């Protein structure tokens, strides 16, 4: 069996990013052959990634990348917030965002290249490094000749905005507003008719016994529905960067219009596992 030197372990660590003990084991298993050891680490990394794939990954990071005429966001998930701040994880997420600039959808993204490897192969290697399930869950991308705004808040919320007219500063400001206020719709024209009808029914139930004349009731109902619609539409909300204006007024002043926006927040829609440590300990003591 070949002697495994510290310099050999160091070289393998630098090439693969794996831990010292893993590198030493890989070299031992492969009789000191660094190339074979590197391949061995990749294979075992894939095996570890498969074993961890069913574990809930609801923490993570939103990363952003921009280039002339396009911008992309990705959500990359981990199991814990601790790993979400790890340099291996954040570096991977940023590389995935760059790759997303040229990907049509999440499936295509997984086959995009990071260096000589695909996103998916690189993900498996990151799992081996950080010891948690890591998933590239979602992406959003805008490519347009129009004005594009992009903003990420604290690595937790990301927004892309496409404006017709305006400038990059306004587009970024609107993206910041969407990050903060999370409006479901752009304008009243985008609110589904079913939602409006349901709000009318609720408003009618609230005022029908008020004893007011029918024409007054109609105005009251209309006022309540209009107020609700403004609260859930981007254009109807007070602009977070200037509360004296609505977003609609800020856009109008710049001769701009929001054509679309995308908003991603870490862990949206993922059911997190709630740990009951007291119950676990009690159960363990009964064994």
| pTM of the entire predicted model | 0.74
Q: Is 155 left (phi over 0), alpha (psi -120 to 50) or beta?
A: left
Tokens matching residue 46: 């894939």
Task: Give me the tens of pLDDT residue by residue for the chain, a chain 287 residues long.
Answer: 578 888 888 888 777 666 677 788 888 888 888 888 877 776 666 444 444 445 556 799 999 999 999 999 999 999 888 999 999 999 999 999 999 999 999 999 999 999 999 999 999 889 888 888 899 999 999 999 999 999 999 999 999 999 999 999 999 999 999 999 999 999 999 999 998 888 888 887 877 767 677 777 778 888 888 888 899 999 999 999 999 999 999 999 999 999 999 999 998 887 665 555 455 555 555 54
State the Cα–Cα distance between residues 26 and 45, nearest whole angstrom.
11
Domains of the chain and any CATH numbers: 6-52 (1.10.8.10), 53-143 (3.30.479.20)
What tokens were used for 140?
């959003």
* Of the candidates 131, 151, 129, the residue with the CA atom closest to the CA atom of residue 142: 151
Question: What is the 3-class SS of 175-200, one letter each residue?
Answer: HHHHHHHCCCECCHHHCCHHHHHHHH
The pLDDT, as a whole number, for residue 274 is 53
Give tens-digit pLDDT for 135-163.
999 999 999 999 999 999 999 999 999 99
Nearest to 220 by CA among 237, 205, 239: 205
Q: CA quadruple 82, 83, 87, 89: dihedral positive or negative? A: negative
User: Which of 132, 150, 142 lies closest to 100 in space, CA to CA?
Assistant: 142
Dihedral (CA of 162, 166, 170, 174) sign = negative
Tell me how far apart the 2 most distant CA atoms of the chain are, in Å: 97
Confidence (pLDDT) at 266: 94
Task: Identify whether the C-beta of residue 80 lies closer than 8 Å to the C-beta of residue 60.
Answer: no
The secondary structure element, H or E, covering residue 65 is strand 59-67
């Amino acid at each position: 069996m070949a002697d495994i030197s510290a310099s050999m372990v160091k070289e393998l660590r630098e090439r693969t990013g794996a831990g010292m003990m893993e590198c030493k084991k890989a070299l031992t298993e492969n009789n000191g052959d660094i190339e074979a050891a590197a391949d061995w680490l990749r294979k075992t990394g894939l095996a570890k990634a498969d074993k961890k794939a069913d574990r809930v990954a609801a923490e993570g990071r939103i990363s952003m990348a921009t280039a002339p005429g396009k911008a992309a966001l990705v959500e990359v998930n981990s199991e814990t917030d601790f790993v979400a701040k790890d340099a291996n994880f954040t570096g991977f997420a940023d590389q995935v965002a760059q790759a997303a600039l040229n990907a049509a959808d999440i499936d295509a993204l997984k086959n995009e290249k990071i260096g000589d490897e695909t996103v998916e192969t690189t993900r498996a290697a990151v799992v081996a490094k950080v010891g948690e399930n890591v998933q590239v869950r979602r992406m959003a991308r805008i490519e347009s000749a129009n004005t594009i705004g992009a903003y990420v808040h604290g690595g937790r919320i990301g927004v892309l905005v496409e404006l017709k007219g305006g400038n990059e500063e306004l587009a970024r400001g609107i993206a910041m507003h969407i990050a903060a206020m999370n409006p479901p719709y752009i304008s009243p024209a985008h609110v589904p008719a079913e939602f409006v009808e349901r709000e009318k029914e609720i408003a009618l139930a609230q005022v029908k016994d008020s004893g007011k004349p029918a024409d007054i009731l109609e105005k009251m109902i209309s006022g309540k529905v209009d107020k609700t619609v403004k609260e859930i539409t981007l254009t109807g909300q007070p602009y977070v960067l200037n509360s004296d204006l609505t977003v609609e007024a800020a856009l109008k002043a710049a001769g701009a219009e929001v054509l679309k926006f995308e908003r991603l927040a870490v862990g949206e829609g993922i059911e997190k596992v709630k740990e009951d440590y007291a119950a676990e300990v009690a159960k363990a003591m009964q064994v």
